[in-house]
């Protein structure tokens, strides 16, 4: 049992105290709570008696909080606001978000730079982005997500976004500081940034180099990041050359934050798909987000 129950006469007394303290008037508190002024005065007296200290100073001009009353009001006000926010979040009256579950790299380098513009165009659609290190099935908590699957993947509420195409990327600053590679064989002599995700299968540098016709034995993973987002951050910082994916790198390439040091690329038999939960057909806000995502990635589709 909460100790609070023994520290206050009743939960109602907290509401009376909050209203009286906020308005600095028993009369205004009574009007707000739809009770009589004597009722408010009696409730406050009982509260003060229970606390063993005066919460209000009374004089001919009205009432004012004592130091003890001010300290208590600061706590009550903060606690009430937190309760309001949490109750709004879990109730039907709270802000309705469309939840987008995405890899950290997609969230950071594709969604984050563009959501501001989306919000300007659709101010009534609120989006919550959830970063995840694994694929999540859209359900009652996740409205939209992106998977990489075989190109013939097909199911209800899924949309083809683009083929999975993989190519080297680096920062313009890196190319200014190092001689640009002219072939895959020259590329492998550069500082290659490796990553190995625990729950998502991504092509590694040795696999890419072999498919590109190079000598995979030359790829030496001096540093390996356990999250592809960290590999991209290292590339953006000019630390070396990372592998880039068609969708994830789209915005970075368009804005020249990353460049492709050589034109060689590997197109796999997989593709990016946008998925939504079963409520997509009934949720207009979800449909707006789906349409926007497909429009923003349109240039990646032949």
Local confidence band at 92 (pLDDT 50, 70, 90 cut-offs): low
Token pair, residue 217, equals 């034995």
Q: What is the DSSP string of 114-179?
A: HHHHHHHH-TT-EEEEEE-SS-----SS--EEEEEEETT---TTEEEEEEEEEEEEB-HHHHHHSP
Averaged pLDDT, 143-169:
96
List, for residues 216-274, the tens digit of each pLDDT value: 888 888 789 999 999 999 999 999 999 999 999 999 999 999 999 999 999 999 999 99
**Contacts with 296 (C-beta within 8 Å, 6 or more apart), sequence order:** 114
Q: Which of 201, 299, 200, 212 is nearest to 192 (CA)?
A: 212
pLDDT given at position 1: 47
- Backbone angles phi and psi of 271, in degrees to 5: -150, 165
List, for residues 29-68, the tens digit of each pLDDT value: 999 999 999 999 999 999 999 999 999 999 888 899 999 9
CA 104/CA 140 separation, integer angstroms: 21
**Contacts with 141 (C-beta within 8 Å, 6 or more apart), sequence order:** 99
Say which range, 53-67, 80-94, 123-137, 269-283, has the weakest mean pLDDT. Answer: 80-94
What's the predicted TM-score (pTM) here?
Answer: 0.69
Instruction: Kindly state the DSSP code that residue 201 receives in the 8-state scheme.
Output: -
β-pairing, 97-102 with 126-131? parallel
| Angle subtended by helix axes 11-23 and 67-90, to nearest 10 | 110
Token pair, residue 248, equals 């994830």
Token pair, residue 135, equals 């694929």
Averaged pLDDT, 267-294:
88
CA 55/CA 34 separation, integer angstroms: 22
Averaged pLDDT, 203-214:
95
CA 11/CA 80 separation, integer angstroms: 12
pLDDT given at position 81: 85
CA 33/CA 2 separation, integer angstroms: 26
Q: What is the DSSP string of 19-40?
A: HHHHHT-HHHHHHHHTS-HHHH
Contact 177, 196 (CB under 8 A): no
For the chain, domains (ranges, CATH) are: 4-90 (1.10.10.10), 95-302 (3.40.190.290)
Local confidence band at 281 (pLDDT 50, 70, 90 cut-offs): low
Local confidence band at 95 (pLDDT 50, 70, 90 cut-offs): low
Q: Is the pLDDT of residue 91 over 70?
A: no
């Amino acid at each position: 049992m909460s100790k609070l129950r023994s520290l206050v006469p009743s939960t109602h007394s907290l509401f009376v105290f909050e209203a009286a303290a906020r308005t600095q008037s028993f009369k205004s508190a009574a009007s707000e709570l739809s009770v009589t002024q004597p009722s408010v005065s009696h409730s406050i007296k009982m509260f003060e008696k229970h606390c063993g200290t005066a919460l209000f100073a009374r004089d001919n001009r009205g009432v004012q909080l004592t130091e003890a009353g001010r300290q208590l009001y600061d706590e009550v006000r903060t606690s009430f606001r937190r309760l309001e926010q949490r109750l709004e979040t879990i109730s039907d009256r709270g802000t309705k978000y469309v939840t987008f579950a995405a890899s950290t790299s997609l969230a950071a380098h594709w969604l984050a730079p563009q959501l501001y513009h989306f919000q300007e165009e659709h101010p009534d659609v609120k989006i919550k982005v959830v970063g995840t290190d694994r694929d999540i099935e859209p359900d009652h908590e996740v409205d939209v997500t992106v998977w990489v699957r075989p190109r013939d993947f097909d199911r209800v509420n899924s949309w083809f976004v683009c083929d999975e195409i993989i190519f080297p990327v680096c920062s313009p600053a890196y190319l200014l500081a190092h001689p640009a590679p002219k072939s895959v064989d020259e590329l492998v002599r550069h500082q290659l940034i490796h990553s190995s995700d625990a729950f998502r299968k991504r092509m590694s540098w040795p696999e890419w180099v072999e498919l590109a016709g190079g000598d995979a034995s030359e790829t030496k993973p001096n540093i390996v990041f356990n999250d592809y987002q960290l590999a991209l951050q290292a590339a953006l910082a000019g630390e070396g050359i990372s592998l880039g994916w068609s969708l994830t790198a789209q915005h970075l390439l368009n804005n020249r934050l990353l460049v492709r040091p050589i034109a060689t690329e590997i197109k796999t038999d997989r593709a990016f798909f946008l998925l939504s939960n079963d409520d997509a057909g009934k949720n207009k806000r979800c449909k707006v987000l789906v349409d926007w995502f497909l429009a923003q990635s349109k240039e990646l589709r032949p």
